[in-house]
Amino acid sequence: MALILLILQTLILIAGLALAGQFVVGIFNWKRRHDNFVYQLLQIVSRPATRLVRLITPRVVMDEHIPLATFLLLFVAYFAVGLWHRDVCLEDLAQRGCERWLQAYAGTGR
């Protein structure tokens, strides 16, 4: 279970960084950002998350606001999954994916 949570947290991180990268690339030329190759590549990476958020948000939310809503949701989800991962690892440190927690607890003498 811990390994699955670690993989999920990594996927959330990748999607969030792709959205942040889109914003940084878009800053340089906001009106023509959709023509930029790097912007389009980052958009492909973050597309599954943005489509999921579009499905769960009401139609009142404009399409221009969906990337921001996606980023904020991913930000909260990253920390929530991280805390869940910590709790799962502290129940059984011998699981795969809990190596860092095992090292941390071995170093403190617990």
DSSP string, 47-102: HHHHHHHHHHS-TTS-GGGHHHHHHHHHHHHHHHHHHHHHHHHHH-TTSTT-HHHH
- Tell me the domain boundaries of the chain: 2-108
- Whole-number pLDDT of residue 94: 86
Condensed to tens digits (0 to 9), the pLDDT of residues 57-106 reads 999 989 999 999 999 999 999 999 999 999 999 888 888 888 888 888 88
Report residue 33's pLDDT band, with 50, 70 and 90 as the boundaries. confident
Full-model pTM:
0.85
Report residue 56's pLDDT band, with 50, 70 and 90 as the boundaries. very high
DSSP assignment letter at 30: G
Closest CA to 14 of 97, 84, 78, 100: 78
